[in-house]
């Protein structure tokens, strides 16, 4: 800032907030404490919205939900010590699912770092394995370049969380505000363009393959390659299966869509992978929940693997054609090399598999969770944004909600962190104020972060919350049923709060729904309500997520 020829000095805290403005950050999620007060003092008069959560885990999950929903960098801030440690689960989640976050933590003054001072923790040490990078700012003159680099690192290449630890005295020091235009990173240069020779080789393999399957993951959503993916599938007549993280990158109703693969994937998706002669893996990482025993995964197939992270290629599975690059850029180079092909016999076989092994459940008089999801899908025309928690309800969402909009599923995949749902839904709704955001949660998960109901009300967010209440930690109960001879222990709650009364305490209308008829009858009104609604769906407590591929066996 130049005033009358001389540079205006500001505090580093002021510079930090101005840097966020320069990065076009409209919103930060946070919880204050002594060490971050210099920043809060400045935030108060900034145009940046600060969302006060009820627990720091809520802040980082909300930033995470915001980032997933909008594709932009999510920002959160917490104080030193316990504030910082409360972020850890949310940071790990962002790391596993490649979500861009910039996280600010307060730290004790530089003079006290390393002395076990009050509320000192080594948060950069703690988060080394779960951040893409992190910084402890020891020199206020380096703050702005650090922030510039952090946003760049978080958002580019394979996105991920970057943490900046801010000793309190640093924040009070004066600097002249000059936000750097350029990043300064010696060796960090993500490769976007794929190797041309490899792309040609991929095209040759695709053109001569008879039974190709496309295995598409979160990378497609991150690089916004949904249109290219659809074109690829349609040109070469290849069915598409999704990882959990990749769901919504192709419309759920698309005739070439196979649903999710892996542990709780559709039988026909897994069989198609087993029978295929070419697996086209796009923006995926061959996670163990997908492959099961690696030796019998896609046993007849050659594999083409496109990913922006070179370390993912060849990590778990041998790859015939590795292509490092941004999947959108690579697909744009690949598409013109492909022959339009019908592959009628293969598609006929796929249809046969779909008919032989459909997803199914038995509709009874009790409320079935799958039916709840089908009804939600029908009444929102597959166009809602669905946030979920972790457990059976999450898998039923993956199986039965047919997403139309890319990125419309907001869910903790790689980490599988219960408690993600409500705060992430809050972040998503704040990022997408015009969209209908629905939270599908479980009675267990919801109780982990339901304190954020207050945040939701405070922010006037019209979330529609559906608790698929089986009065149990259903997913774990299911594991005990299958693998521990039904010796149920530590999974059935003896006390569950009355969620409808709880909703009332927050001034939110709540409903208990026990039967399919009631659901169908009440759902339109609930979904069209202008404000938030909590729906406690009392579902069949013994319902399982099926299919479930058994341990070690190939599905």
Ligand X SMILES: Cc1ncc(C[n+]2csc(CCOP(=O)(O)OP(=O)(O)O)c2C)c(N)n1
For ligand X, give the closer residue by CB, 479 or 501.
479
Residue 184 C-beta: closest distance to another protein, Å: 5
- The residue written with tokens 């950069």 in the block is 124
How far apart CA 242 and CA 258 sit, in angstroms, is 8
In whole angstroms, the minimum distance from the beta carbon of 473 to Mg ion comes to 6
Residue 66 Cβ vs another protein, minimum distance, rounded to whole Å: 24
Which CB sits closer to ligand X, 179 or 493? 493
153 binds another protein (CB under 8 A): yes
The two beta strands, 6-7 and 2-3, are: antiparallel
Tell which residue, 222, 192, 225, 200, has the closest CA to residue 73: 222
| Cβ 373 vs Cβ 396: under 8 Å | yes
51 three-state secondary structure: strand
**By the rule CB under 5 A, 443 interacts with Mg ion:** yes
Which residues from 439-458 bind ligand X, rule CB under 6 A?
442-445
The reply on whether position 164 binds another protein by CB under 8 A is: no
- Comparing CB distances to Mg ion, the nearer of 238 and 390 is 390
Rounded least distance, CB 186 to another protein, Å: 5
Does 475 participate in binding ligand X (rule CB under 6 A)? yes
Q: Applying CB under 6 A, which part among 57-65, 199-207, 255-263, 464-472 lies near ligand X?
A: 464-472
Q: Are the CB atoms for 214 and 233 separated by under 8 Å? A: yes
State the Cα–Cα distance between residues 461 and 453, nearest whole angstrom: 10
* Residue burial 295-317, b: 16+ Cβ < 10 Å; e: rest: eebbeebbbbbbbbbeebbeeeb
Nearer to another protein, 115 or 187 (CB): 187
Task: Tell me, residue by residue from 299 to 338, as one string, x for binding to another protein by CB under 8 A and - for no binding.
Answer: ----------xxx--xx-----------------------
Residues with Cβ within 8 Å of 378's Cβ and at least 6 positions away in sequence, in order, are none
Is 335 or 496 the residue whose CB approaches ligand X more closely? Answer: 496
The whole-angstrom separation of Cα 185 and Cα 192 is 17
Sequence-ordered strand ranges (E) for 403-542: 409-410, 437-442, 464-469, 510-513, 533-538
Q: How far apart are CA 141 and CA 108, in angstroms?
A: 18
Nearer to ligand X, 106 or 444 (CB): 444
* Residue 304 partner contact from ligand X, Mg ion, another protein, none using kind-dependent CB cut-offs of 5 to 8 Å: none
Asked if 470 interacts with Mg ion (CB under 5 A), we say yes
**What is the DSSP secondary-structure string of 146-212?**
HHHHHHHHHHSSS--EEEEEEEHHHHHSEEE----SS---SS-----SPPHHHHHHHHHHHHH-SSE
| 145/492 with CB nearer another protein | 145
Of 175 and 410, which has the nearer Cβ to another protein? 175
Question: Candidates 23-31, 341-349, 387-395, 456-464 — which segment interacts with ligand X by CB under 6 A?
Answer: 387-395
Least CB distance from residue 152 to another protein, whole Å?
10
Q: In the stretch 123-142, what mask flags binding to another protein with x, by CB under 8 A?
A: -xx--xx--xx--x-x----
Among 36, 397, 449, 472, which residue sits at the site for ligand X (rule: CB under 6 A)?
472
Q: 457: helix, coil or strand?
A: helix
Q: Distance (Å, rounded) from C-alpha 541 to C-alpha 474? A: 8
| Residue 58 or 283 with smaller CB distance to another protein | 283
Q: Pick from 211, 393, 402, 464 the residue near ligand X by CB under 6 A.
A: 393
Contact set with another protein (CB under 8 A): 124-125, 128-129, 132-133, 136, 138, 145, 153, 184-188, 309-311, 314-315
Contact set with Mg ion (CB under 5 A): 442-444, 470, 474
């Amino acid at each position: 800032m130049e005033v009358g020829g001389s540079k205006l000095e500001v505090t580093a805290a002021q510079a930090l907030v101005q840097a966020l403005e320069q990065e076009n950050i409209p919103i930060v999620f946070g919880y204050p404490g002594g060490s971050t007060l210099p920043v809060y003092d400045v935030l108060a008069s900034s145009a940046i919205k600060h969302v006060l959560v009820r627990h720091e885990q809520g802040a980082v999950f909300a930033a995470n939900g915001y980032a997933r929903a909008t594709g932009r960098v999510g920002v959160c801030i917490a104080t030193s010590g316990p504030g910082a440690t409360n972020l850890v689960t949310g940071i790990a989640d962002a790391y596993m699912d490649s979500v861009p976050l910039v996280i600010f933590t307060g730290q004790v003054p530089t003079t006290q770092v390393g002395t076990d001072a009050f509320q000192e923790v080594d948060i950069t040490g703690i988060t080394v394995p779960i951040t893409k990078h992190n910084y402890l700012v020891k020199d206020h003159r380096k703050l702005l370049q650090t922030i510039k680099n952090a946003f760049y690192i978080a958002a580019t290449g394979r996105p991920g969380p970057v943490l900046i630890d801010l000793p309190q005295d640093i924040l009070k020091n004066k600097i002249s505000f000059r936000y750097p235009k350029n990043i300064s990173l010696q060796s960090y240069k993500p490769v976007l363009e794929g190797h041309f020779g490899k792309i040609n080789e991929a095209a040759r393999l695709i053109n001569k393959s008879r039974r190709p399957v496309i295995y598409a993951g979160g990378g497609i959503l991150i690089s916004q390659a949904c249109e290219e993916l659809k074109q690829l599938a349609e040109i070469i007549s290849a069915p598409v299966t999704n990882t959990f993280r990749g769901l919504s990158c192709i419309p759920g109703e698309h005739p070439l869509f196979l649903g999710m693969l892996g542990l709780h994937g559709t039988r026909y998706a897994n069989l198609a992978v087993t029978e295929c002669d070419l697996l086209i893996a796009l923006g995926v990482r061959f996670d163990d929940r997908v492959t099961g025993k690696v030796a019998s995964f896609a046993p007849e197939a050659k594999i083409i693997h496109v990913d922006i992270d070179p370390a993912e290629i060849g990590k778990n599975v041998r790859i015939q054609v590795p292509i490092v690059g941004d999947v959108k850029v690579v697909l744009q180079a690949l598409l013109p090399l492909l022959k339009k092909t019908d592959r009628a016999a293969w598609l006929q076989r796929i249809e046969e598999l779909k008919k032989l092994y459909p997803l199914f459940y038995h509709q009874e008089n009790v409320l079935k969770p799958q039916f709840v999801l089908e009804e939600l899908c029908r009444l929102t025309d597959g166009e809602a944004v669905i946030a979920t928690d972790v457990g059976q309800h999450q898998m039923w969402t993956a199986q039965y909600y047919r997403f139309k909009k890319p990125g419309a599923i907001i869910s903790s995949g790689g980490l599988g962190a219960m408690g993600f749902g409500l705060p992430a839904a809050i972040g998503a709704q704040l990022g997408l104020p015009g969209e209908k955001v629905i939270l599908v949660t479980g009675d267990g998960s919801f109780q982990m972060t339901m304190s954020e109901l207050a945040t939701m009300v405070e922010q006037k967010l019209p979330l529609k919350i559906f608790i698929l209440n089986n009065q149990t930690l259903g997913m774990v109960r299911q594991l005990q049923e299958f693998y521990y001879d039904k010796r149920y222990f530590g999974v059935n709650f003896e006390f569950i709060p009355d969620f409808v009364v709880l909703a009332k305490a927050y001034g939110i209308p709540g409903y208990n729904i026990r039967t399919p008829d009631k659901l169908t009858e009440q759902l339109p009104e609930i979904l069209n309500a202008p404000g938030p609604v909590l729906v406690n769906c009392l579902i069949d407590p013994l319902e399982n997520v099926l299919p479930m591929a058994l341990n070690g066996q190939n599905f």
